[in-house]
């Protein structure tokens, strides 16, 4: 069964590009054009991953991410912020709202596609651990923070590899 990815962006060209690239990589893609629709589709479709713009009509991406992370039914869905906002405070706000990664526009779709299996595998491992720990009590907050740090390191490694492959050495 194909993994389901929700792409949320109000720019049709970005949605078309991501939909085509993701479907070519064998993912099932659903789309939303605003924050309200993103929340509705997340609750209806239960995606495995969300790629979320910040500057959206109706409800902005920060608020969408915060709402989804506050909901027990959606809190474990990894969120990748994909946005033109690139100031340090924007990135910080995105990560604090619950994103596991922050990709700036214009973006390299190969880098974004390279991140997805890592994020989906982390989610699957976490779900498996939670099933195994059922009845053993809540997970330790420190362990959760360590998992987020591990994801961030893996994504930095992907950027490094992709930069070198493109003939660019990025720090």
Helix axes 61-70, 35-45, angle to 10 degrees: 30
Quote the CA–CA distance of 133 and 98 in Å, as a whole number. 23
Quote the CA–CA distance of 159 and 139 in Å, as a whole number. 30
Please check whether residue 11 is in contact with residue 106, taking contact to mean a CB–CB distance below 8 angstroms: no
Residue closest to 123 by CA, chosen among 82, 79, 156, 159: 79
Alpha helix (H) residue ranges in 35-140: 35-45, 61-70, 88-96, 109-132
Residues 127-169: tens digit of each pLDDT = 667 777 775 554 444 455 566 666 666 666 666 665 555 444 4
Residues 53-66: tens digit of each pLDDT = 999 999 999 999 99
Residues 3-35: tens digit of each pLDDT = 999 999 999 999 999 999 999 999 999 999 999
Residues 69-110: tens digit of each pLDDT = 999 999 999 999 998 888 889 889 989 999 999 998 888 889
- What's the confidence (pLDDT) of residue 142? 45
**Helices first, then strands: H and E counts in the chain:** 6, 5
Q: How many CA within 13 A on the CB side of residue 36? A: 2
Contacts of 101 (CB under 8 A, 6+ apart): 78, 80, 81, 115, 119, 151, 152, 155
| Structural domains in the chain plus CATH codes | 4-165 (3.40.50.2300)
Quote the CA–CA distance of 171 and 156 in Å, as a whole number. 9
- What's the confidence (pLDDT) of residue 145? 54
- What's the confidence (pLDDT) of residue 164? 52
Q: What does DSSP say about strands 49-52 and 79-83: parallel, antiparallel, or unpaired?
A: parallel
Whole-structure pTM value: 0.76
């Amino acid at each position: 069964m194909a993994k389901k990815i929700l792409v949320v962006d109000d720019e049709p060209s970005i949605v078309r590009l991501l939909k085509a690239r993701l479907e070519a990589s064998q993912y099932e893609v659903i789309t939303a054009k605003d924050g309200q629709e993103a929340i509705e589709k997340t609750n209806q479709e239960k995606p495995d991953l969300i790629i979320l713009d910040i500057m959206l009509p109706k409800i902005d991406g920060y608020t969408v991410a915060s709402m989804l992370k506050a909901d027990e039914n959606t809190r474990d869905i990894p969120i990748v912020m994909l946005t033109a906002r690139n100031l340090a405070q924007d990135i910080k706000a995105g990560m604090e709202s619950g994103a596991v990664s922050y990709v700036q526009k214009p973006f390299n779709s190969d880098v974004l596609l390279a991140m997805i299996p890592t994020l989906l595998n982390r989610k699957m491992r976490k779900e498996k651990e939670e099933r195994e720990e059922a009845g053993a009590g809540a997970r330790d907050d420190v362990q959760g923070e360590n998992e987020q740090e591990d994801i961030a390191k893996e994504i930095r490694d992907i950027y490094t590899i992709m930069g070198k492959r493109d003939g660019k050495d990025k720090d």
